[in-house]
Amino acid sequence: MITEEGILSDLVRIKSVNPPGGELEVAEYLKDLFDREGIESKIIHISPGRGNFLAHLGEGEKKLLYLSHTDVVPGGGGWEFDPFSGRIKGGFVWGRGAIDCKGLVACEAYALLKLKKERLKGRLTFAATCDEEGEGKGIKHLIQNYPDEIGVDLVINEGAEGPLRIGPNTVYLMQAGEKGVLRAYFHAHGLSAHGSIPALGENAITKMARALEELAKYKPEVILSPEVEEMFWELLGTKVTPQNLDCVVDSIEDKKLREYLRAVTRMTVSVNTIQGGVKVNMVPDFCSSEVDIRVMPGQDEEYVKEELEKAVGENIQVEIGSFFPSSLSPFRSPYTELIQRTLREVARDDAVMSPVISSAATDSRFLRRMGIPCYGIDILEPSISNLIHAPNERMDIKSLRVRTDFLIRLAQNYLS
């Protein structure tokens, strides 16, 4: 018997780690599953070993897209078991990608299987794309080459943080926007010399270390858009200003909520790789770092470069790489009302939903540029929402089933 947890277990066992990818095997698995169930679908090849999966149900003027991605980050260390085992134990499916994002792939696929006999008065599209953890090559390919197939009214995707327990309430978060993404590179230049007489050289690594120490003191500007102010009010019942925001945030006991709210109110700068030196007895003449920067609305490459150059000093060369600006869908619309109504039907009548802006990026940013409203909703147990990109990632079967019910009911509410 086909189940959400069975599909997810199978998907986790496919090592579609990006880099290098290997998502084509996931697309082939989904194609075989849909063929056996009599649902028309196709694989769209991107490059060797990489591809998207696309399927449709129904026809009509209304168009709804269920979006997810099939690549995962590396397994990493610290696991209690094989991160690609896909084992089902204790009410969970265990393994890399169980939450991000193969759990959503499994639920969206299963929802279409359950809806295949429905008389939908519109078109439901399911797109499972490659390279979301990279540069978004999969969704970009669909936009450029299949615009009619993904030209829809509404997109449901990943992107929301897991539910929060605030007082007596469990608050479900609906991702309505996300910060922009910029990649920067720091370069330090020095002079080589023999390691036995280091003073004859100029050590690029120590030059970089001093610059990064200065960067740690950098205090980015606090920015409060109307949407962020509304989000604080919805979550905390508190009116915030740039002057009182950090006091409000510091008073929150839940570390994840505290640091999330700090991250979505200012630019963040994270130095995540560093390379320097070629041999232990040579003074290094070069050192470089890759920097992950998430920007607020209105902050562009020029602004970021100026801020970084002031922070690290004149001895470091700052190079700006790829940039994608922030994106936003309406916080209040008939679509958000539809999502909240559906959530209450499958969770409980008094479920609280708050629109939020994500500190991370998803494929929704590319579709928002086309003017398509995109929303992420994660109906998870709050206890597992910290496991994204972490050891022992797992998805509880109860959350899988509630999420599938939500997707089925949403399609019925909008397309029937």
Question: 3-state DSSP call for residue 193?
Answer: coil
Q: Residue 234: enclosing H or E segment and its boundaries?
A: helix 226-236
Tokens coding 271 = 């130095």
Per-residue model confidence as pLDDT tens digits over 133-150 = 999 999 999 999 999 999
Is it true that 4-176+328-415 and 178-324 share their CATH fold? Answer: no
Determine contact, residues 172/379, Cβ cutoff 8 Å.
yes
The CATH architecture annotation of domain 4-176+328-415 reads: 3-Layer(aba) Sandwich (3.40)
Residue 313 has pLDDT above 90, yes or no: yes
Tokens coding 262 = 């700090």
CA atoms within 13 A on the CB side of 352: 15
For the chain, the C-alpha Rg in angstroms (whole number) is 23
Mean pLDDT, residues 247-269 taken together: 94
E strand residue ranges, 193-267: none
Residue 386 has pLDDT above 80, yes or no: no
ω into 107 cis (within 30 of 0)? no
Per-residue model confidence as pLDDT tens digits over 95-111 = 999 999 999 999 999 99
How would you list the strands of the sheet with 88-89, edge to edge? 88-89, 92-94, 394-396
CA atoms within 13 A on the CB side of 64: 24
Question: 3-state DSSP call for residue 191?
Answer: strand
Q: Give per-residue burial for 50-81: e unless 16+ CB within 10 Å, then b.
A: bbbbbbbbbeeebbbbbbbbbbbbebeeebee
Residue 261 has pLDDT above 90, yes or no: yes
Tokens coding 259 = 């640091």
- DSSP letter, residue 310: H
pLDDT of residue 350: 78
pLDDT of residue 383: 64
ω into 19 cis (within 30 of 0)? yes
pLDDT band for 217, please (50, 70, 90 cuts). Answer: very high
Residues 6+ apart with CB under 8 A from 106: 4, 5, 7, 8, 11, 400
Mean pLDDT, residues 6-31 taken together: 98
pLDDT of residue 246: 96
pLDDT of residue 382: 65
Question: 3-state DSSP call for residue 32?
Answer: helix
pTM of the model: 0.92
Domain borders along the chain are 4-176+328-415, 178-324
Per-residue model confidence as pLDDT tens digits over 154-183 = 999 999 877 887 777 778 899 999 999 999
Helices and strands: H and E segment counts in the chain: 13, 17
Nearest to 366 by CA among 44, 49, 147, 42: 147
Residue 406 has pLDDT above 70, yes or no: yes
pLDDT of residue 260: 92
Nearest to 263 by CA among 241, 245, 240: 245
Determine contact, residues 61/122, Cβ cutoff 8 Å.
yes
Determine contact, residues 128/53, Cβ cutoff 8 Å.
yes
pLDDT band for 324, please (50, 70, 90 cuts). Answer: very high
CATH topology (fold) of 178-324: Alpha-Beta Plaits (3.30.70)
Mean pLDDT, residues 89-100 taken together: 96
- DSSP letter, residue 97: T
Residue 349 has pLDDT above 80, yes or no: no
pLDDT of residue 388: 86
- What is the rounded distance in angstroms from the CA atom of residue 304 to the CA atom of residue 182? 9
